[in-house]
Structure 1
Amino acid sequence: MLSRVFPDRFVPVLLATILLASLLPVRGAAVPVAQAVSTAAVVFLFFLNGVRLPRDEVLHGIRNWKLQGGALVFCFGIMALLGLGAQLATAAVLPAALALGFLFLGILPSTVQSATASSSMAGGNVAASVVAAAVLNLIGVAASPLLFAALAGNAGEIHNDGVLRIVSILLLPFIAGQIAQRRLRPWVLSHRQLVTILDRTTVAIAVYVAFSAAVVAGIWQLLDAREVVVVLAAAAILLALSFGGAWLFGRLLGLARPDRVTLLFAGAQKSIAVGAPLAATLFPPAIAGMVLVPLLVYHMAQLILSAWIAPGLAKGPAGVVLE
């Protein structure tokens, strides 16, 4: 029954993490310890991402330039503009950090496992999905912070210490993982379940620490029912525009149906595995929790939506309304 309501098991984990942070947030002397644990977990996560993202498959898949270029344009171009539009549309009714979260959502790379799994379930080009996810995440490690800084104005200004944190916590571990890939990737591939657990535990820790700081700063007192409704409505509209737009964009590019399916999930899904650590790196803890709220809502909604539409897409044009 639970699998029908939450097609991805990580959705209830995220909900439980938010609930735990709301009831038992990290306080006082425990805060530096929790932040150190979160930072160490993020370093490990990006090292692990560097190990498992396949360089050979990336280089091979780049040959499908129309699909990969389309995914790149949609993920970092069109989605960034949609996120900016959502920020501007909600700025008058939401706290600034919360509205900024929609722009932050828009500049993130795609998911890896979820986009590939959804594409496979929907009859997409699975090999191209792996490549698209890898390419977008490789580019996103460096491009997402720069794109956010360019679009967010003063709110997204990255100072020298912020650059140093991005390089030391995100980029260097990722590069180290790529260097160690030949030795460690066979072990990672043979322990997929363990690696997935470690991956999701790391994300949960980052979300818990960031959201705890927001709770201590009074997020639930700052948000009233109307603002919660605005966030949910804006996320739903953004979800519809992103998934519908990605499908239409694939059609405009003249992609074959399997490639359109790949573009749909690679372009419209957004990665909390990158978003949570990046928010913790770019923003003070209390602000990071607020910025993450739109991404948390969107991430959980995209998993549920993807699981619902994938079987219909697999049936072909007669089985879906997107055609």
Structure 2
Amino acid sequence: MFKFIDPFLVSLLSTLLIASFFPCYGSGVDFFNHLAIIAIALMFFLQGARLSRKAMLEGLFHWRLHLLIFLCTFALFPVLGVTLHYLFPQLLVPGLWMGVVFLCCLPSTVQSSIAFTSIAKGNVPAAICSATASNLIGVFITPLLAGFIFSSQGHMKLDGTIDIVYQLLLPFVAGQLLQPWIGEWAVRNRKLLSFSDRGSILIVVYSAFSEAMNMHLWQKLDIQQLLYVVGIDVFLLFLVLIITAIVSKLLKFPLEDRISIVFCGSKKTLASGVPIANVLFPSNMVGMIILPLMIFHQIQLFIIAILARYCAKLVDKKEKTEDASINQR
């Protein structure tokens, strides 16, 4: 069981506890807010430097698979989140409902989508292309979706779009432009540079939850609210897993492609979600908004890890059946 526990989740929970008991105050808030901006810009710069253009082109013409994954990520999820909010508006406090809807607007993960697709013996090249493209496109689509849903409610920063350009897009484009010179170095040092990715998230989480503590977050929430968030996250994940499995089978995708669709279409990224939330929303709201995402992150790792092993057995069974059929001829 412990092998399913994401070590990064332990770091996240530790950071949350530190922020809960030792939040920053006064000038410390400004310091960590500026540090978070720098760390986020560095993270997207390195993502741009590491992103292989070849990987973007691989499987590009498998358009039916990619289109279905994108529709699940950027259409099905938001529709489900908004519908749940409409049907049960009093179930959660407004900040948590915003967090649930916001996570529904996020792109898919990259590393874990590819890793679990590989474990499940699915179509890995297609997963690489779709997950990478999802993250790249998500930098544009997520703010647009969130803006469409939240702007009329006055919950987003007025200059959020400008911040997205300066803090996320420009660093990413700069990394892509410098890729011919630093791309190989970035790939070789992927593990070392991952500390930059994770470190930036931890900084944002500490800054966000320090602000939340100053706003008395835990006094506003009770255990019932947190349990409701867990229930909603689990419901969303299982619903999308079922829908992607059924639709991909009805569309007659091969088993390996169906695995890629289910795994890539049902995941949501914490790595990009936290920085985007920090850019889009006022600092005093970020802590509550990213809470459903942090919970969803661990739930998806547990469930997908178990599902990946089950899918691998299905692929093995299929291959044995095909081999037996060939030998009988």
Distance 1:156 1:254 in 2: 44
User: 1:56 maps to which residue?
Assistant: 54
- The alignment partner of 2:243 has SS state of helix
8 Å Cα contact 1:149-1:156 kept in structure 2: no
In structure 2, relative to structure 1, the CA distance for the partners of 1:252 and 1:27 (3 Å cut) is farther
Deviation for aligned residue 1:225: 2.3
8 Å Cα contact 1:46-1:174 kept in structure 2: yes
Distance 1:156 1:178 in 2: 34
User: 1:72 maps to which residue?
Assistant: 70
User: 1:3 maps to which residue?
Assistant: 3
1:149 to 147, 171, 193: 147
Deviation for aligned residue 1:153: 5.0
Gaps of 5+ in 1: none
Deviation for aligned residue 1:27: 1.5
The amino acid across from 2:26 in the alignment is G
Deviation for aligned residue 1:148: 1.3
8 Å Cα contact 1:49-1:177 kept in structure 2: yes
- The alignment partner of 1:25 has SS state of coil
Deviation for aligned residue 1:317: 6.7
In structure 2, relative to structure 1, the CA distance for the partners of 1:87 and 1:49 (3 Å cut) is farther
Deviation for aligned residue 1:160: 5.0
- The alignment partner of 2:284 has SS state of helix
User: 1:132 maps to which residue?
Assistant: 130
Distance 2:267 2:312 in 1: 18
Deviation for aligned residue 1:76: 0.3
8 Å Cα contact 1:49-1:174 kept in structure 2: yes
Gaps of 5+ in 2: 318-329
Q: For residues 166-216 of structure 1, give each alpha carbon's deviation from its aligned partner in whole angstroms, at most 9, with x where no partner exists.
A: 110011111111111121121111112112222112112112211221122
Distance 1:161 1:41 in 2: 19
Q: 1:140-219 maps to which residues of 2 (within 5 A)?
A: 140-155=138-153, 160-219=158-217
Verify: 1:231 aligned to 2:222, yes or no: no
8 Å Cα contact 1:82-1:238 kept in structure 2: yes
1:120 to 106, 113, 118: 118
User: 1:268 maps to which residue?
Assistant: 266
Distance 2:69 2:185 in 1: 30
- The alignment partner of 2:108 has SS state of coil
User: 2:104 maps to which residue?
Assistant: 106
Deviation for aligned residue 1:135: 0.7
User: 2:324 maps to which residue?
Assistant: none
Deviation for aligned residue 1:26: 1.8
- The alignment partner of 2:69 has SS state of helix
The amino acid across from 1:29 in the alignment is S
Q: For residues 282-307 of structure 1, give each alpha carbon's deviation from its aligned partner in whole angstroms, at most 9, with x where no partner exists.
A: 11112111111111110111111111
Give me the TM-score of the superposition, normalised by structure 2: 0.91
Distance 1:182 1:156 in 2: 42
2:300 to 299, 302, 310: 302
Distance 2:311 2:231 in 1: 25
Deviation for aligned residue 1:104: 0.2
What fraction of aligned residue pairs are identical, expressed as a percent? 36
Verify: 1:31 aligned to 2:29, yes or no: yes
Q: Over aligned residue pairs, what C-alpha RMSD do you find?
A: 1.8
Return 223-232 or 275-284, whichever deviates more.
Answer: 223-232
1:289 to 287, 290, 306: 287
Aligned length: 317
- The alignment partner of 2:159 has SS state of helix
Q: For residues 209-244 of structure 1, give each alpha carbon's deviation from its aligned partner in whole angstroms, at most 9, with x where no partner exists.
A: 112211221110001222122111111111211222
CA radius of gyration, larger in: 2
In structure 2, relative to structure 1, the CA distance for the partners of 1:207 and 1:252 (3 Å cut) is farther
8 Å Cα contact 1:86-1:238 kept in structure 2: no
The amino acid across from 1:291 in the alignment is I
- The alignment partner of 1:315 has SS state of helix
